[in-house]
Amino acid sequence: MTNELPQKQLVADSFGRAAAHYDDVAILQRQTGDELLDRLDLVKIKPQRIVDLGVGTGRNLSLLAQRYPNAQLIAVDIATEMLKHARQAHRQQQGLKRWLPSTKKPLYLAGDAEQLPLADNSVDLIFANLALQWCDPRISFAEIQRVLTPDGLVMFTTLGPDTLHELRKSWAKVDNYPHVNMFYDMHDVGEAMTEARLTGMVLDTDRFILTYNDAMSLMKDLKLLGAHNINRDRRRGLTGKQALAKVISAYEHFRQNNLLPATYEVVFGHAWGSIPAQQTSEDGSVKIPISQIKRKVIQP
């Protein structure tokens, strides 16, 4: 695992700036969020404390509140501007109901998934939709394991390395700088979860393809989402008109049925808080059955 991750402050600033327009373009995030919630419906749990990790503008927070009205919700995000939007959106969604004494108000915490501002063994469910891709999985899953109760559940989506491969390949025709963020492979994620001693791990990947009329619209959307290029080694300063024209032209190579595809490789995963003693060997290694790691690839 050697991905160079973007600096924390850049991630926070980038998402902070994006907060106001994020909902207009968060198509993929809504789809994966809905699928994650559908998967949650299949699990019978009664969580008392739920963290929406990387809550963004808070759409899933309200859906989680509807599903688990008795639970204490905790919204965590590295970007304080996102938290403000999440709080506002939740208030609006609750309407007058929020004044009822029985209605629990979520807590909003500015924090990093790699250093969660939460006590050990304190959370029954961590829901993280498309937020962990900005983190080192070894650190974030160790943190997740630390705060989860032993029978607590983490349910997440993250992005795999094939994400935006069309844009990556198009930029490779222009220069040697990284223009698309790097993402960890599903197997790296699995290894990190195993190292963190999470148990009952299930992982699979799915491909989502968004389509655009032109490459410029895709790049604008990435900026509005706050998910544009923030690699450490990225080229600094404004991208020249010539380079932009070149990448736009290179992207045309992918045009199909008059539209440009943008592929997202989404890794779905869940696991439970801690490993039962009988699954741990004397040398400290952990036995996870191969059958618990599956790979599903849907070709465009």
Ligand X SMILES: C[S@@+](CC[C@H](N)C(=O)[O-])C[C@H]1O[C@@H](n2cnc3c(N)ncnc32)[C@H](O)[C@@H]1O
Is 230 among the residues that bind ligand X (CB under 6 A)? Answer: no
Q: Show the CA angle centred on residue 96, arms to residues 93 and 102, nearest 5°.
A: 95
Applying CB under 6 A, among 5, 11, 193, 247 the residue interacting with ligand X is 11
The site map against ligand X for 172-211 (x = CB under 6 A) is ----------------------------------------
- Does the footprint of ligand X cover residue 74 (CB under 6 A)? no
Size of residue set near ligand X by CB under 6 A: 24
> Is position 15 an interface residue for ligand X (rule: CB under 6 A)?
yes
Q: For ligand X, give the closer residue by CB, 254 or 268.
A: 268
Site for ligand X contains 134 (CB under 6 A) = yes
Q: What is the C-alpha end-to-end distance of the chain, expressed in Å? A: 28
Closer residue to ligand X, CB minimum distance, 35 or 195: 35
Footprint of ligand X on 37-66 (CB under 6 A): 54-56, 59-60
Q: Is residue 250 a contact residue for ligand X (CB under 6 A)?
A: no
Q: Is 79 in the site for ligand X (CB under 6 A)?
A: yes
78 binds ligand X (CB under 6 A): yes
In the list 5, 73, 113, 222, the residue contacting ligand X (rule: CB under 6 A) is 113
